[in-house]
Structure 1
């Protein structure tokens, strides 16, 4: 039985089906095909077929393999034969639905009684459909069950191994086929019996008939008609969102600590790019996180443009000016920036620590972690979670990998399962996922973008509090996120000791002196704790502040190079007698004044290291804050970091492509009018005018300004001044054609 060609079948399809095909396989429309024959040729190319199969689910791919197994790549085959190969447990309606999906992608065509697939599908999908080898005509009349029963244990085991896996194997015994009586091992015996086929000097293949016999005449060992079910649980959505909000707050605190650390001590950029292992460990220790999480944070801040390569003679990873904008943002907007960066990040931070093909470890921020498909695969995992009801959790992450493997088994490669685990882990760290469920702000991020997601996170975050709880052990407990001004004041006078739902700060002599160095007075600090603490301020904290303040600023410094002044000559003498005086090159110019050629910052740091408590002062005598603000580099213009997801052509573009193909088909058809020679210009003009008056289409041969010849169908509107003006069906627009460039013309007769 012979069936229609793919081109003929495509010509018979309406615009809706053709548009659906081009939407599913956008590569077929680029560049725009001149006619349906070109479209059919492209649809049958191995590379295009392989791309079209990437989004097919496991069952549809199985049906395609069954079509190949039935020989639909060689000639039409009925659906009943395909259903028989799939097995009795597969519903016919499921097979029909899969075939219809294959038709919609031009991977199969024809009626159910005569289905065809492109010949190149064998190479694009699999050389061995259902894991079966090629048939051997010599075995068609052989009683295989009886022959298999006579095999010894070694021969039987070898055949079963090939039948359960790849039907080919490599062996040195494939070199020469010897008679059965001279055979010394299972391979030689099976070759002699004809139950194995020799493909080359080192390769043998199990014939299809033998494989089917060993499987009990079942072509497919197992056919998964539907995707695996997820074992789900659930939490109230409010619980999931509050957990996500806690993760978002912790993320913001850690990124803020990273920016502060790298502002003061930017790590070097490796010669090969990336961040060194030692620097990553320093960062992890400094901000008190695990090494792998530190790597994720580093990837995020660089991806968001908050940190960049200084690109100097000795390049370093330095915070950019965008970091300052991020630092003053609200918690929800800071989170949304980082979450969107992660969603679109064309890199796989989870690869850190693995080794490349040369057994070299892959480093954080290195080029080896770049994977352009990462955003697409990340979204696949999140979309699967988004399909679940709000608050629904997945009890086993491996089930997510199993579902995604069924939905698109040809995607993900060897990292497919790892990608699922990494996405869930990283999403949890960012507060996009919580308790193995997609959080509300994360769901909003996927569907509506970062601005709406920031609003959703603002609702999930606990309301800022305007008070703290001061404890007798000099700790200050923040029972929730602090208001911005209070958070800044507490961060100046105390260091974070532990973070979480409630943040614990600790006040020490060093932190109290830091606040005094920044210009705060002892009265300011007393008022801060008196007005903002819901618990009584312990005497130990009051004594600590007063003691530090009493010693602070007694010694004053200014720029001379630098100078020191003190109302107490005894203290001036004590400074001069210290070892630091010689290092700082201090000398007395008055009983209460010392000067140094070194900068004021160096002098103050040196004296503090020696146990003194000097303060810097300005021309008005007020205390100055000389703490370095941290290094910054100019933020570079960031290109659009949206993932390279296939958007496909618009509906209007699809219709234009289809119109061009239809016009190309009409132009390629043998015209029924007489072709006019270009030298017969008068007759050409007369024919064009007559077509314009009668509203008839003409078939033109035309050469453009670049000397490119083409054929097209045109509806003439007017002919004047040596110019044809008409509607070009291929481009869907009114165009002008110089008559002297028309090489041939004929009237397109109605069929």
Structure 2
């Protein structure tokens, strides 16, 4: 391209592109289509809006960003460069680790399809593209200097004196460039600047200017090293074990059922909506879960909509006017669903969950511990991080996860800590989406498919084996009704597709407390056992039954009775708070509801059961409370192929009817590009007397509405206010 050719514009390039290529641009940049731009000039303007460009660069991989950076290093923000020049530059700075010419050309085509680079023979970078990247972002080695590694730069900085470190710190705080008389090759080698240049910790730009290398800046600012993953990581992922994935998922289904049952008696929240330490400890004990596991299942319940914070119906008897955590009506629908749909719903909830389980217990911004369901544990970026981690695991194993993440999603991966990656993999394994590899349900989520459609949940079983050591061998998942009964009478010892439960005095007492009778427990075990019920199990049930229920109570407001007068007398002494009064050797009455009397006596160590007027056992648990569910937001329709084609035709039609002209590059963008490219410009500005002046300068920093620039003729640094600058001409 000729040097005197006019600077090409994005609008002009779009006008020369085929409908097929315009469709690619709209497909990659859907935010620029709605509402429909009236013409190509309007589309070009939208494509160069900072917010839109930020969304676009987040989709680029490391190679594409490196090619973009190479083009910027060659000055493509200010004038056209050629593809061979970009290839040569990358091969020069990367040497033995450079991508092939084909890979670089493919990356350039991708950048064109995002309209971040435009042009045919000559390529230019669209406005706002480079400023949209994080401050001081850099993937390619420095073009000059010693190109230190991060470890070499850190070692060199650690050895510096306070005086030398101060020089580097000043440069880091002032944009990375500095003017000094010691930049020349003949400067006094005992001075700090020449010593820093010799050590590779500073780079000489010219006889009066030095630059702080990006790797040294990261060390000075205490930021971690960026992974150098310009080329794709070889694929080595194996398929996930579907059996292990389903087994892990079914255990989460079982735990969620228990949580819904436990929260049917709502638990109060703290003022900010989180759960207090006492509530969490009690739930952890009741559900036999570690607190980290409980946090995970609570967060999952909220994300799935099965539980939420609010005002339950009915209200607890001791309501204090605050909020509670309780199940929603969706929980009742979920409990009735088949296993595949139950598990699929939990997978989808985890996929969009923003509550971060591993932040609980850590200190917040005010140095206070983060509680379960606290707003401080919300991370809006978590679903995107989760999506990218699982996508990487479809390509590589966990030991290559960080490298693959950085290649495919460099801008996002640079903000993901190794600890976060580990936690996401742990949770994916916990819920059954990763089992030595990504399972079918994980692939379905990545493709936007309901995971319930691909989950092959085993058929629920109706029978099990009861053994003489009080264990129960269950060869598969139980039906919901049987699972509820099993959880009531036994304790899970070994989860999985084939699980093991244990009968114990504690578990059977728990069942009796909830209204089951010994004959009902015996009937359940006998009916579903594949073998004869061992005598030891019958003896255990009979022994507990003799001790349990000796003290009996009934409503009226309530009474208690016992064939043991001494036991009744002890109960009356313990029931003072409910006005329990003995009216006969075997009968006492209370001026309180039966539930309150029974609860108080159980807390005091007694083992009463409730009975109706005929002496039959009652289940006096209160009616399960529910908090109204909230409707999920309706997703906005995406841009399908039909709408894209219609948009291209409409833009073409409107563009032909309009006569708009391309706008010049904005002053700020040109000056920022001149700083990055170390280019001189002719600056037109109005001085304080209102006189128009032109001056050739080299911009050093642009910020806070002002420009600091070097007058290369005099060596002086001048400050210009942006609002006084009338034009910027980039010198050839």
Q: CA deviation at 1:298?
A: 1.4
Change (3 A) 1:624 1:284: closer
Moved more, 75-84 or 466-475: 466-475
In structure 1, the residue matched to 2:617 is 623
Q: For residues 647 and 416 of structure 1, what CA distance do their matches in structure 2 show?
A: 32
Correspondence 1:195-274 to 2 at 5 A? 196=204, 204-205=210-211, 226-233=231-238, 240-264=241-265, 266=267, 268-274=268-274
Per-residue CA deviation, residues 292-335 of structure 1 (Å, 9 max, x unaligned), is: 33222111111122222135732232233333333343333221
Would the aligned equivalents of 2:264 and 2:626 in 1 still touch at CA under 8 Å? Answer: no
Would the aligned equivalents of 1:244 and 1:433 in 2 still touch at CA under 8 Å? Answer: yes
In structure 2, the residue matched to 1:411 is 412
Change (3 A) 1:181 1:483: closer
For residue 530 of structure 2, give the secondary structure of its aligned residue in structure 1: coil
Q: For residues 251 and 129 of structure 1, what CA distance do their matches in structure 2 show?
A: 43
Q: For residues 47 and 192 of structure 2, what CA distance do their matches in structure 1 show?
A: 44
Q: For residues 534 and 143 of structure 2, what CA distance do their matches in structure 1 show?
A: 87
Would the aligned equivalents of 1:477 and 1:503 in 2 still touch at CA under 8 Å? Answer: yes
Q: For residues 557 and 207 of structure 1, what CA distance do their matches in structure 2 show?
A: 82
Q: 1:321 aligns with which of 329, 351, 363?
A: 329
In structure 1, the residue matched to 2:595 is 601
Q: For residues 82 and 547 of structure 1, what CA distance do their matches in structure 2 show?
A: 85
Q: For residues 379 and 63 of structure 1, what CA distance do their matches in structure 2 show?
A: 26
Q: For residues 156 and 610 of structure 2, what CA distance do their matches in structure 1 show?
A: 90
Change (3 A) 1:204 1:290: farther
In structure 2, the residue matched to 1:19 is 23
Q: For residues 276 and 534 of structure 1, what CA distance do their matches in structure 2 show?
A: 45
Would the aligned equivalents of 1:339 and 1:430 in 2 still touch at CA under 8 Å? Answer: yes
Change (3 A) 1:355 1:603: closer
Per-residue CA deviation, residues 235-282 of structure 1 (Å, 9 max, x unaligned), is: xx6xx111112101211222233333334461x423334334554455
Would the aligned equivalents of 2:575 and 2:597 in 1 still touch at CA under 8 Å? Answer: no
In structure 2, the residue matched to 1:575 is 568
Q: For residues 547 and 285 of structure 2, what CA distance do their matches in structure 1 show?
A: 33
Q: CA deviation at 1:56?
A: 1.5
Correspondence 1:184-199 to 2 at 5 A? 184-187=190-193, 196=204
1:537 is aligned to 2:533: yes
Would the aligned equivalents of 1:494 and 1:508 in 2 still touch at CA under 8 Å? Answer: yes
Would the aligned equivalents of 1:529 and 1:537 in 2 still touch at CA under 8 Å? Answer: yes
RMSD: 4.4
In structure 1, the residue matched to 2:11 is 7
Moved more, 177-186 or 615-624: 177-186
Correspondence 1:294-313 to 2 at 5 A? 294-310=294-310, 313=321
Change (3 A) 1:602 1:24: closer
For residue 365 of structure 1, give the secondary structure of its aligned residue in structure 2: coil
In structure 1, the residue matched to 2:425 is 424
In structure 1, the residue matched to 2:52 is 48
Would the aligned equivalents of 1:587 and 1:595 in 2 still touch at CA under 8 Å? Answer: yes
In structure 2, the residue matched to 1:526 is 522
Which sections of structure 1, spanning at least 5 residues, go unmatched?
145-152, 212-220, 389-393, 671-751
In structure 1, the residue matched to 2:658 is 667
1:34 is aligned to 2:27: no
1:107 is aligned to 2:100: no
| Higher-Rg member (1/2) | 1
Q: For residues 597 and 74 of structure 1, what CA distance do their matches in structure 2 show?
A: 88
In structure 2, the residue matched to 1:716 is none
For residue 34 of structure 1, give the secondary structure of its aligned residue in structure 2: coil
Change (3 A) 1:285 1:229: farther
Q: For residues 647 and 79 of structure 1, what CA distance do their matches in structure 2 show?
A: 34
Moved more, 66-75 or 317-326: 317-326
Q: 2:339 aligns with which of 331, 336, 352?
A: 331
For residue 308 of structure 2, give the secondary structure of its aligned residue in structure 1: strand
In structure 2, the residue matched to 1:370 is 378
Q: 2:83 aligns with which of 58, 79, 84?
A: 79
Would the aligned equivalents of 1:477 and 1:502 in 2 still touch at CA under 8 Å? Answer: yes
For residue 411 of structure 1, give the secondary structure of its aligned residue in structure 2: helix
Q: For residues 577 and 127 of structure 1, what CA distance do their matches in structure 2 show?
A: 77
For residue 317 of structure 1, give the secondary structure of its aligned residue in structure 2: strand
Q: For residues 78 and 561 of structure 2, what CA distance do their matches in structure 1 show?
A: 99
Correspondence 1:35-184 to 2 at 5 A? 35-87=39-91, 89-112=98-121, 114-125=122-133, 169=172, 177=181, 184=190
Q: 1:652 aligns with which of 629, 640, 643?
A: 643
Q: CA deviation at 1:432?
A: 1.4
Aligned length: 613
Moved more, 167-176 or 271-280: 167-176
Which sections of structure 2, spanning at least 5 residues, go unmatched?
93-97, 147-154, 217-225, 312-319, 662-732
1:507 is aligned to 2:508: no
Would the aligned equivalents of 2:328 and 2:628 in 1 still touch at CA under 8 Å? Answer: yes
Q: CA deviation at 1:552?
A: 5.4
